[in-house]
Amino acid sequence: MKPNHIQHLYWRVGFGISPNQLKLFSKKKKKEIVNQLFEDSKSMTTLEVDTTEIKTILSDGFKISPENRKKVQKLSRQKTIDLNRAWINRLAEGQTLLREKMTLFWANIFVCEDNNVVYIQQFNNTLRQHALGHFGDFVKAISKEAAMTKYLNTKQNRKQKPNENFARELMELFMLGEGQYSEKDIKESAKAFTGYSHNLKGEFVFKKRQHDETTKTFFGKSGNFSGDDIIDIILEQKQCAQFICEKIYRYFVNDTLNENHIDEMVEVFYQNYDITKLMSYVFMSDWFYQEENIGSKIKSPIEFLVGLKMIVPVEFENKKQLLYIQKQLGQILLNPPNVAGWKGGKNWIDSNTIALRLKLPSILLNDAYISKVKAGATNDEAYRKEAFKKKYGKYFKTKTNWDSFSKQFVDVDTKDLPFYVISGTLSHNTALYLNTLDKSSKREYCIQLMSLPEYQMC
């Protein structure tokens, strides 16, 4: 398999690839590499932070005192920051690379948030568990999650007074897309989800007395449907496969849809809604590796941060600063902007975020100093670097593991770094600019590359 194709694959299913891995995989065939990705992601390890104290408070049943409620909220705020950090670290570990990237993808399809870290951690692990499984089982599991029943008001959905929020978003955002259903379909399907609730521990509870047992008519079918029945009927609509395939194509292939490629994916997915089978088809397709798809997507803030961390491991001494940077870049894990999630694509970039993205590698890895020294220059670089550190470095305290970087790139010549750091082709002007720079320091050159507009792409 061609090295640039391997890099492209690993930027889409993960956040980059090390030179040693690339060298090893270059001797293998595409099928072998793709199959190994799925094999490595077969197992699922839950992502957990210690919530023992909160769980103890919630273990008493359905009621909680106002005092304990405030305590849970305070602890949850603290633990959610820990969970955010743990998720980013998990993404950078790369042990179950594809499952973790799929979890990140699904988190922006089945959008949900909650102020109880126990519920949102459980929800996050449900995403992780089903990320490569059967799509129908996935949706059914999501519909019963405590965080989701709270977020879209299914908990308030009773036969005397149906709440249509979940039923509407199930079709509009999760399974079909806007305009693919009627208002009657929403009203009828909402009745099927009446009685959905949970206990304080976050376990699903079906309140039979609050469930509407009458006949519902949905998409031309009539019966005493349950919530699971509604999901099964939606799965029968080929539009469901179309909707999900378009989402996957935009995320993993290209923001501009290719109808022929989408049609191929739909035929695969509609057979049995097997997510693994669909993703394998995409990564094995020749069109996935076409030049128009390589380096064509703007990295999300999380892809940008984790990709940087993969090349040069970096940790924040103050964990709230990691949250602050996510906020400034426009994507905070576990805190979506609304039920529709992040729009992605060109929406990731504006005048403020691009300025921060170009500065961030130097801020995090080099005391805020971006070396622009040209070959043969005699500037006192150490003096200028110290001046930058005093002015900007105080804002972020980080621990940078340059030893890991040196080990990864020990056999890579400095002038060859762009091939390993940048996804896609450098513009003519960028190539000319890089030719003028001093390359005596591999570290400095790496930061210079990360500070380029081309580094924003994958």
pLDDT tens per residue across span 326-362: 999 999 999 999 999 999 999 999 999 999 999 999 9
Same domain for 358 and 445?
A: yes
Residue that wins the pLDDT comparison between 344 and 382: 344
Closest CA to 198 of 163, 135, 156: 156
**What integer is the mean pLDDT of 199-226?**
97
Closest CA to 139 of 230, 206, 262, 252: 230
Look at residue 392 in the predicted model and tell me its pLDDT. Answer: 47
Q: How confident is the model at residue 376 (pLDDT cuts 50, 70, 90)?
A: low
For residues 449 and 422, the answer to whether their CB atoms sit within 8 Å is yes
Least confident span in 53-57, 314-318, 393-397: 393-397
**What integer is the mean pLDDT of 124-141?**
98
Q: φ and ψ at 457, to 5 degrees?
A: -105, 155
* Residue 390: pLDDT over 60: no
Q: How confident is the model at residue 380 (pLDDT cuts 50, 70, 90)?
A: low
Look at residue 385 in the predicted model and tell me its pLDDT. Answer: 53
**What integer is the mean pLDDT of 25-33?**
97
Look at residue 60 in the predicted model and tell me its pLDDT. Answer: 72
* Mean pLDDT across the chain: 94
Same domain for 197 and 254?
A: no
Query: How many domains does the chain divide into?
Result: 3
Same domain for 285 and 201?
A: no
What residues does 157 pair with on adjacent strands?
A: none
Residue 351: what residue type? S
Instruction: Note whether residue 308 is domain-resident.
Output: yes
**What integer is the mean pLDDT of 143-154?**
98
Same domain for 232 and 243?
A: no
Same domain for 317 and 371?
A: yes
Same domain for 279 and 265?
A: yes
Instruction: Note whether residue 123 is domain-resident.
Output: no
Q: What is the percent of the chain where pLDDT is above 70? A: 93
Instruction: Note whether residue 381 is domain-resident.
Output: yes
Residue that wins the pLDDT comparison between 384 and 349: 349
For residues 396 and 322, the answer to whether their CB atoms sit within 8 Å is no
For residues 109 and 175, the answer to whether their CB atoms sit within 8 Å is no
What residues does 274 pair with on adjacent strands?
A: 134
Q: Domain boundary at 253, 277, 293, which? A: 293
What residues does 411 pair with on adjacent strands?
A: none
Same domain for 243 and 232?
A: no
DSSP for 338-390 reads STT----GGGG--HHHHHHHHHHHHHHHSTT----PBTT----HHHHHHHHHH
Query: Number of helices and strands (H, E) in the chain?
Result: 23, 6
Instruction: Note whether residue 219 is domain-resident.
Output: yes
Instruction: Note whether residue 111 is domain-resident.
Output: no
Each residue of 287-314: b (16+ CB within 10 Å) or e?
ebbbeebbbbbbbbbbbbbbbbbbbbbb
* Residue 384: pLDDT over 60: no
227-266, pLDDT tens digit by residue?
A: 999 999 999 999 999 999 999 999 999 999 999 999 999 9
Instruction: Note whether residue 182 is domain-resident.
Output: yes
Contacts of 55 (CB under 8 A, 6+ apart): 118, 201
For residues 71 and 57, the answer to whether their CB atoms sit within 8 Å is yes
For residue 418, count other CB atoms closer than 10 A to its CB.
Answer: 20
**What integer is the mean pLDDT of 8-25?**
97
* Residue 2: pLDDT over 60: yes
Residue 365: what residue type? L
Same domain for 205 and 265?
A: no
Look up the domain containing 282 and give its range. 3-40+237-293
Same domain for 221 and 264?
A: no
* Residue 94: pLDDT over 90: no
For residues 283 and 101, the answer to whether their CB atoms sit within 8 Å is no
Look at residue 338 in the predicted model and tell me its pLDDT. Answer: 97
Helix (H, G, I), strand (E, B), or coil: what is residue 152?
Answer: coil
Torsion angle, CA of 314/317/323/324, rounded to 10 degrees?
A: -100
Q: Domain boundary at 293, 325, 358, which? A: 293
Kind plus residue range of the DSSP H or E element containing 170: none
Residue 233: what residue type? I
* Residue 388: pLDDT over 60: no
Same domain for 312 and 428?
A: yes
Whether pTM > 0.85 for this model: the answer is: yes
For residues 193 and 157, the answer to whether their CB atoms sit within 8 Å is yes
What residues does 216 pair with on adjacent strands?
A: 223
Residue that wins the pLDDT comparison between 390 and 24: 24
| Rounded Cα–Cα distance for residues 336 and 424 (Å) | 29
Q: How far from the centroid of its chain's Cα atoms is residue 428's Cα?
A: 32
Angle, helices 66-93/301-311, rounded to nearest 10 degrees: 60
| Rounded Cα–Cα distance for residues 100 and 97 (Å) | 5
Instruction: Note whether residue 125 is domain-resident.
Output: no
Q: How far from the centroid of its chain's Cα atoms is residue 272's Cα?
A: 25
Residue 33: what residue type? I
Instruction: Note whether residue 431 is domain-resident.
Output: yes
* Residue 125: pLDDT over 80: yes
Same domain for 339 and 323?
A: yes
Q: How confident is the model at residue 397 (pLDDT cuts 50, 70, 90)?
A: confident
Q: Domain boundary at 270, 293, 316, which? A: 293
**What integer is the mean pLDDT of 308-315?**
96
Same domain for 226 and 140?
A: yes
Q: How far is CA 152 from CA 11, 111, 274, 350, 411, in A?
A: 33, 10, 26, 31, 53
